[in-house]
Amino acid sequence: MGKAWVLEDSERVTEVIIELLASFGIDAAPAPSLVKLSSAIKRGDILFLDWDLPGMGALDALTALATIPSTERPHIVLMAAENEPSKFVLAKAAGASFYMLKPFDRTDMADVLKRCGVEVEEAA
C-alpha cells in the first residue's frame, strides 16, 4: 500500500482519520491543494475525499482527478455526513471507489481499507 491522503475541510476530522490510519500502520497526511495532490498521488495510494469541500464539491475534485491516467489512479473513498444514495451513485460514476459515512470508527475504517485491498487486523 502506498500513502493515504485526506482531503477534508475540518482539521479535527482530518486528525481523526490520520490517527485511525496510523493505528493500522498506514502513512497518512492531509492532502495539499488538489493541483499538487494530482501530481503526488499514485496507484496504491488511497484518497479520503470529503463530499462538502468549500469552494469545490467532491464531484469537481473527482473530475479533476479523472485526468490521472487510469493505470496510476488511486482508490478514492468518498466521505459524507448524510446517507444520500444519489450522492454515492454520482460519485461512483465520477471515479470514487467506495464511500464511508461520518461519523465512522475503527471498524468502519478497517472495512473500507479491506475493500481497497489493504490487509488489516480485525478491529479490537
Question: The domain spanning residue 46 has which CATH number?
Answer: 3.40.50.2300
Angle at 51 between CA 99 and CA 56, to 5 degrees: 145
Structural domain includes residue 119: no
Domain of 66, in residue numbers:
4-114
Q: Are strands 98-101 and 75-80 parallel, antiparallel or unpaired?
A: parallel
More confident residue, 57 or 7: 7
Chain segment 31-70, per-residue pLDDT in tens: 988 878 888 888 999 999 999 888 888 999 999 898 888 8
Q: Dump pLDDT digits (tens) for 53-112.
A: 888 889 999 998 988 888 889 999 999 999 999 989 999 999 999 999 999 999 999 999
- Give pLDDT, residue 122: 60
* Structure confidence at residue 14 as a pLDDT band (50, 70, 90): very high
Distance CA 113, CA 123 (A): 12
3-state secondary structure of 33: coil
Give the span between the Cα atoms of 108 and 124, in whole angstroms: 12
The terminus-to-terminus CA distance of the chain in angstroms comes to 22
What's the pLDDT band for 123 if we cut at 50, 70, 90?
A: very low
Structural domains in the chain (count): 1
Is 124 part of a structural domain of the chain? no
Mean pLDDT, residues 19-40 taken together:
90
- Specify if 122 maps to a domain: no
- What does the alpha-carbon distance between residue 11 and residue 44 come to, in Å, rounded to a whole number? 25
Q: Is residue 123 in some structural domain?
A: no
